[in-house]
Amino acid sequence: MEQYLTTASDVTTALFGPESGIPWWAWLLVVVAVFWKVAVREPKTATERDNAMLGEMFGDDNKGKKKKK
């Protein structure tokens, strides 16, 4: 078990440590790229935005969505 911990520590130090060949900002870029869809909300389409606005203006409980028949 000690050998596994030592190996994991060595790999982590090689990837993230001060003597790493990869700078810190490159790791930050990778993290941002992976979590971009989670961190940044997609803009609504014009129709969705209009329906939400009309729902708020007229007190519609379902935010302006059309009822299914």
Q: What is the pLDDT of residue 22?
A: 86
Q: What is the pLDDT of residue 39?
A: 79
Q: Are 65 and 51 spatial neighbours (Cβ–Cβ below 8 Å)? A: yes
10 lies in a domain? yes
Q: Across all residues in the chain, what is the average pLDDT?
A: 83
Structure tokens at 18: 């001060």
68 lies in a domain? no
Q: What is the pTM of this model?
A: 0.42
Domain range for 9 is 2-57
| pLDDT(43) > 80 | no
41 lies in a domain? yes
Q: For the chain, what is the domain count?
A: 1
